[in-house]
């Protein structure tokens, strides 16, 4: 009999009468790395929230080291040594790294905050994790990879026995994922048990000892990683077989629709490129290479210090998103929580916003038509929700992302920029999105895609531009497009 650290017995959680997880019984063995996989809305995040005490249980019990966990008590879970890195960042962007690391667990001396000690200790924790971060810098000035590092440091600033990570690799590029893996393994070597949730099955295969598969709130089965394959996982997750195939790259030369000349800001240096009708252009590079910043300049979300933009050979003056959209440019932003969604508003309102005036006649909104059109896209994307009135906060992470995609598909832009469009999306739906992107290109739309997932970028793009530290470092076409070529340019 192996040593069970965490035991879930018939754990059930209902929302509005619908079971998000249904009578799950699962034992986690001390010292293992346990993977959890499942489609968007399968119940992964819900399951771990019941363990961390973030939400109440409808039914069932959870034991940690043979002691009953107090339900709905995060304090109890933390005290017993359970720590969670949630899917969405929970950092305070205006505070320093060390303040975030010790938020809620501040070190005090004579009743006052002991800042030097907190600085020292957070520096130590981060160094041990292999990150060299200035602990005094504000979180908002750091790249997402460092946010993740801060989150992890925060979760291990006290005695931890079990650490749960919900899609920790989603905002990271491959190189940073390697670093994350080192951290996870290091924690595991120190005897900490890890539960690791991810949609990237190759990560799950590489990292874990055992894997549990959830589908529609049920535990389908738990398998030994060495006895399974990615295909088998997918089959159990989705209930059918899916091949990671990318749509074929049909492309015939058409006229240039977008041309950027010398886009410049403090983070982007003199970037020029063009995109043709029907073309899918990928942007490669590491996190912080300036890809997102370039797109924000193009979209008018940030101000450029210099540079020109031409749409259909006409110079356009884009100073704000309103003007970009008027010129047929749309941007699906990477940060769905802050930029993509109004979390406490409905799926309907969120999806409608970019097209609000297209559906407005004499000031009044055409609810019927807009609802039908939105429904069409949410069906293709298999959005899992009670109805369109459900507020986005109550959707699973992947389903929130589907709302962001819906709202821009509805707008039907001539030029569509997608910044990490499949972040947090499950394997099956990814294929649907790839097909959608390809269909848009076939219709003559110009597509720009930023992705940290190399296979996705390579699989989709007709042409790839690579950036490094705000500079365009190269262009790859056809046969030239390989992982090595991109990596070389990305590190130039």
Partner 1 sequence: MLKNLKLKSFFEKYAIYLVLIIEIVLFSILSPYFLSVDNLINILRQVSIVGIMAVGMTFVILTGGIDLSIGGVVACVGVICAKLMVNGVHPIFAILVSLIFAALVGLINAVFSHEFKLIPMIVTLATLQILKGISYIITGAIPVFGFTEEFKVIGQGYLGPIPIPIIIMLVLYVIAYIILTYTSFGQSIYAIGGNEEAVRLTGINIRKQKYLAYILCSLITAVAGIVLLSRVNTAQPSAGIGYEMDVITGAVLGGISMSGGEGKITGVFAGF
Ligand X SMILES: Nc1ncnc2c1ncn2[C@@H]1O[C@H](COP(=O)(O)OP(=O)(O)OP(=O)(O)O)[C@@H](O)[C@H]1O
- The residues that touch ligand X, with contacts defined as CB under 6 A, are 15, 20, 38, 40-46, 87, 384, 394-399, 424
State how far the Cα of 282 lies from the Cα of 474, in Å rounded to an integer.
12
Least Å from the CB of residue 410 to partner 1: 11
Taking CB under 8 A as the criterion, the residue among 357, 372, 376, 379 binding partner 1 is: 357
CA dist 210 to 31, 46, 162, 226, Å? 11, 20, 15, 8
Using CB under 8 A as the binding rule, whether residue 301 contacts partner 1 is answered as yes
Using CB under 8 A as the binding rule, whether residue 338 contacts partner 1 is answered as yes
Taking CB under 8 A as the criterion, the residue among 349, 436, 454, 485 binding partner 1 is: 349
Least Å from the CB of residue 185 to ligand X: 24
Partner that binds at residue 92, options partner 1, ligand X, Mg ion, none, CB closer than 5 to 8 Å by kind: none
Using CB under 8 A as the binding rule, whether residue 360 contacts partner 1 is answered as yes
Partner that binds at residue 136, options ligand X, Mg ion, partner 1, none, CB closer than 5 to 8 Å by kind: none
Using CB under 8 A as the binding rule, whether residue 321 contacts partner 1 is answered as yes
Q: Which is nearer to ligand X, 278 or 397 (CB)?
A: 397
Partner that binds at residue 407, options ligand X, Mg ion, partner 1, none, CB closer than 5 to 8 Å by kind: partner 1
Using CB under 8 A as the binding rule, whether residue 101 contacts partner 1 is answered as no
Q: For every residue of the chain, which 3-state class applies, written as one string?
A: CCCEEEEEEEEEEEECCEEEEEEEEEEEECCCEEEEEECCCCCHHHHHHHHHCCCCCCEEEEEECCEECCCCCHHHHHHHCEEEECCCCCCCCCCEHHHHHCCCCCCEECCEECHHHHHHHHHHHHHHHCCCCCCCCEHHHCCHHHHHHHHHHHHCCCCCCEEEEECCCCCCCHHHHHHHHHHHHHHHHCCCEEEEECCCHHHHHHHCCEEEEEECCEEEEEEEHHHCCHHHHHHHHHCCCCCCCCCCCCCCCCCEEEEEEEEECCCCCCEEEEEECCCEEEEECCCCCCHHHHHHHHHCCCCCCEEEEEECCEEECCCCHHHHHHCCEEEECCCHHHHHCCCCCEHHHHHHHHHHHHHEECCEECHHHHHHHHHHHHHHCCCCCCCCCCEHHHCCHHHHHHHHHHHHHHHCCCEEEEECCCCCCCHHHHHHHHHHHHHHHHCCCEEEEECCCHHHHHHHCCEEEEEECCEEEEEEEHHHCCHHHHHHHHCC
Least Å from the CB of residue 143 to ligand X: 22
Using CB under 8 A as the binding rule, whether residue 38 contacts partner 1 is answered as no
Partner that binds at residue 231, options Mg ion, ligand X, partner 1, none, CB closer than 5 to 8 Å by kind: none
Using CB under 8 A as the binding rule, whether residue 352 contacts partner 1 is answered as yes
Report the interface residues with Mg ion, using CB under 5 A. Answer: 45, 87, 396-397
Taking CB under 8 A as the criterion, the residue among 333, 397, 421, 424 binding partner 1 is: 333
Partner that binds at residue 180, options Mg ion, ligand X, partner 1, none, CB closer than 5 to 8 Å by kind: none
Point out the residue whose Cβ comes nearest to ligand X: 398
Taking CB under 8 A as the criterion, the residue among 161, 345, 371, 414 binding partner 1 is: 345
Q: Which is nearer to ligand X, 46 or 52 (CB)?
A: 46
Other CB atoms within 10 Å distance of the CB of residue 477 = 10
State how far the Cα of 70 lies from the Cα of 418, in Å rounded to an integer.
43
Least Å from the CB of residue 90 to ligand X: 15
Beta bridge partners of 314: 311
Taking contact as CB under 8 A, which single stretch among the options 13-21, 283-291, 379-387, 479-487 is the one that binds partner 1? 13-21
Least Å from the CB of residue 9 to partner 1: 18
State how far the Cα of 314 lies from the Cα of 26, in Å rounded to an integer.
61
Q: Which is nearer to Mg ion, 45 or 157 (CB)?
A: 45
Taking CB under 8 A as the criterion, the residue among 94, 344, 387, 484 binding partner 1 is: 344
Taking contact as CB under 8 A, which single stretch among the options 31-39, 163-171, 285-293, 322-330 is the one that binds partner 1? 322-330
Q: Which is nearer to partner 1, 84 or 392 (CB)?
A: 392
Partner that binds at residue 363, options partner 1, Mg ion, ligand X, none, CB closer than 5 to 8 Å by kind: partner 1
Binding interface with partner 1 (CB under 8 A): 14, 16-17, 58, 299, 301, 320-322, 324-326, 331, 333, 338-345, 349, 352-354, 356-357, 359-360, 363-365, 367, 407
């Amino acid at each position: 009999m192996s040593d069970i650290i965490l035991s879930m017995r018939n754990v059930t959680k209902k929302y509005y009468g619908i079971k998000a997880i249904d009578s799950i019984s699962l034992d986690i063995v001390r010292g293992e790395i346990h993977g959890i996989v499942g489609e968007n809305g399968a119940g992964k995040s819900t399951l771990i929230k019941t363990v961390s005490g973030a939400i109440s249980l409808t039914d069932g019990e959870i034991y940690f080291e043979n002691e009953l966990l107090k339900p709905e008590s995060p304090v109890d879970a933390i005290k017993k040594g359970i720590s969670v890195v949630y899917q969405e960042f929970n950092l305070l962007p205006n505070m320093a790294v060390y303040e975030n690391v010790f938020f809620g667990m501040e070190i005090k001396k004579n009743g006052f905050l002991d800042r030097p000690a907190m600085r020292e200790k957070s520096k130590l924790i981060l160094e041990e994790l292999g990150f060299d971060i200035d602990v005094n810098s504000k979180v908002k000035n750091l790249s997402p990879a460092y946010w993740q590092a801060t989150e992890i440091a925060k979760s291990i600033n006290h005695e931890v026995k079990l650490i749960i990570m919900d899609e920790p690799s989603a905002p990271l590029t491959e190189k940073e994922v390697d670093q994350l893996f080192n951290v996870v393994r290091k924690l595991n070597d120190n005897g900490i048990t890890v539960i690791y949730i991810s949609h990237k099955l190759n990560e799950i295969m590489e990292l874990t000892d055992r894997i549990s598969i959830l589908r529609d709130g049920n535990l389908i089965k738990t398998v030994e990683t060495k006895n399974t394959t990615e295909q088998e996982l997918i089959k159990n997750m989705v209930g059918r077989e899916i091949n990671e195939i990318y749509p074929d790259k049909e492309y015939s030369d058409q006229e240039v629709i977008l041309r950027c000349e010398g886009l410049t800001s403090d983070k982007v240096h003199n970037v020029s490129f063009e995109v043709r009708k029907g073309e899918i252009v990928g942007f490669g590079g590491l996190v912080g290479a300036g890809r997102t910043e370039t797109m924000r300049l193009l979209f008018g979300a940030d101000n450029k210090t210099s540079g020109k933009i031409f749409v259909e050979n006409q110079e356009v003056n884009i100073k704000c998103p309103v003007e970009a959209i008027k010129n047929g440019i749309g941007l699906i932003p990477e940060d769905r929580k802050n930029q993509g969604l109004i979390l406490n508003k409905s799926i309907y309102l969120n999806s409608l916003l970019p097209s609000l005036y297209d559906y407005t006649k004499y000031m009044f909104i055409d609810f019927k038509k807009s609802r039908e059109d939105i429904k069409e896209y949410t069906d293709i994307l298999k959005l899992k929700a009670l109805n369109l009135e459900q507020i986005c906060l109550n959707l699973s992470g992947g389903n929130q992302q589907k709302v962001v995609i819906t709202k821009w598909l509805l707008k039907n832009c001539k030029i569509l920029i997608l910044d990490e469009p499949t972040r947090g999306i499950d394997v099956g739906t990814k294929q649907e999105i790839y097909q959608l992107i390809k269909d848009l290109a076939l219709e003559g739309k110009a597509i720009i895609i930023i992705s940290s997932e190399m296979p996705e970028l390579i699989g989709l793009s007709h042409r790839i531009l690579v950036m490094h530290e705000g500079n365009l470092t190269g262009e790859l076409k056809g046969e030239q497009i390989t992982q090595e070529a991109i990596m070389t340019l990305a590190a130039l």
